[in-house]
Amino acid sequence: MPGRGDRVAWWLILAAALVLRLGVLDREGLWVDEVFSLAVATGHSIEQDPRVSRPELGDFVEPGPAVPPSGLRRYLRHDSPPAGPFRVVRATFISDTSPPLYYVLLWAWTLALGTSDAALRLFSVAWSLATLPLLRALGREVIGDRAALVACAFFAAVPVGVEAGIEGRMYALTIFLGTLLAWTSVALARRGWRPGLAILWTATAAAGMLTHYFFVFVWAACAAWLLLSPGRLDRRAVPALSALAALLAAPWYLRMPEILGHWRVAKGWLDGLPSPRRFVVAPINLAASLFSLPDPWRASLVNRTALAVLVELALLLAAFLLLRRAGRAGWSARALPVLWLAAACCGPLVFDLVCRSQTDTISRYAWPALPAAALLAGMAGARLAARPRRMAMVGLLLLLAWVPAYYRLALPVLRHGDSFRETGALDGPVVASWVPQLRHRRVPEDTLALTAGERRAALVEVHEINAPAPEEAWLRRNASLTAAQRLYDARLFLFDLDSSRLARGLKYSPAPPAGTTAAAFAAPASCSPDSSAPARRCPPPGNPSARRGAPAAARRTG
């Protein structure tokens, strides 16, 4: 039984986790992937092939002229009457590459709590907080009571855990399901066959695979550990339960070739086989990201291949010795976090080899192993517990190493937020989307039409994929740039428009190259580039890939 001190520590950890997540919940507006979550969860497809678009089913069709922010913001709200879950699955099928379970659950959540930014992120906060009791229960089975508390403290406070716990994507749910699957695996090994546990293991594995494709690496680690250390469970039950889980996920996975083959606005943004060097540094970089190590430390490994090789060899040797020791001891539960972390950090490279992609560059894809990193941190903390001074020193150094990450989480990033909010409140046609992959827009014809009669314009490039932006070049030549700012995954440019220069621009502005990636918005005179008041939010314009309206804007869709 835990003592009073442990109970107090547990409630303090829960409170800290809640405060940290709520404290940065509204630090900025939604980024493009979070906007995509809201669109799909409300039954709207916004990246599909225009040949399969059905406006009557909520699919995005790019309007010709500028429209009010509300005309595009409707893609992020429930229709009246609301779409059903089957339309959410359809939107996922034609517009996304991820499985649909997260979107269906988010659909139900937003029906109850609305589609505000806070409602979207609170869905992830709920799953993140629900992971903590599971992690403590798993930690008790794997590393002991005190070490489990250290693991929970790490999970509650590590910056990447806070980020995953508020982001309006499926990662918090994936982390919860991975922790539940690991706990169920240990429970089956300790208690033997129990129908309830067997059903829970199968359902959790299937739910995880229907939430994110890379959950398969978590499932593979748990299944492999159960095969190596079945305990009281009949080893033959593991492939049987795995086959049943695969059968439950099969209706979606059997259509994966068709799903991955669909044309999308952002199709191909991760294409290309990784370089041989990436196969050395990627697993280290992904593992280091789970501990929120400072970027300069990680960059020194990524940029120095020889050093990365030495570190990787040392880690492989340590993992080999640990797993060898675990094998001699009957593959104890302490081997599970090692297998879990290794599978999640090396799995993307396997996927890249098969699909000729570069998913190893996206640290989010390793987030399902965050509980495994927490358990390993708990093991290390338990070893230091006998030396409180040393443990306090290590904890202090870790917190200092996390300061840059905390700073990025809490820092307001938009200086021109007042202009964005001002535009979001306007009723007039002030926002126009420009998705060049759809090939509906041309330079200079559409740039002239969209800026006609306006004094100022803003160009917002969102989610760029290194393609030319001819409308940006046109505005730079034919208008006066008054302000520019980087907003994480977006760039904001404010222009003063000169009607005489715009008219002359018709004679020498080139047509856009095929396949460019950009978007543009016309702006009213109310757009003020002089606004420098800090804002807690940085929503891009009110368009299918943005939450709030902007006085003028252009966005790049990738």
Determine the pLDDT at residue 366: 93
Q: Domain residue spans in the chain?
A: 116-272+284-410, 414-558
Determine the pLDDT at residue 259: 86
Determine the pLDDT at residue 167: 94
Determine the pLDDT at residue 431: 81
At 461, give phi and psi (nearest 5°). Answer: -100, 120
Residue 106 neighbours by CB under 8 Å, 6+ apart: 37, 38, 41, 120, 123
Determine the pLDDT at residue 406: 85
The model's pLDDT over 79-94, given as tens digits with 9 standing for 90+, comes to 999 999 999 999 999 9
Determine the pLDDT at residue 182: 98
Determine the pLDDT at residue 280: 74
At 357, give phi and psi (nearest 5°). Answer: -130, -175
Distance CA 461, CA 475 (A): 13
Distance CA 195, CA 208 (A): 20
Determine the pLDDT at residue 547: 32
Determine the pLDDT at residue 90: 95
Q: Which residues of the chain have pLDDT under 50?
A: 296-298, 300, 302, 416, 505-558
Distance CA 542, CA 553 (A): 9
Q: Give the other-Cβ count within 10 Å of 220's Cβ.
A: 17
Do 134 and 184 touch, CB atoms closer than 8 A? no
The reported pTM is 0.83
Residue from 368, 402, 410 nearest 157 by CA: 402
Q: Give the other-Cβ count within 10 Å of 199's Cβ.
A: 13
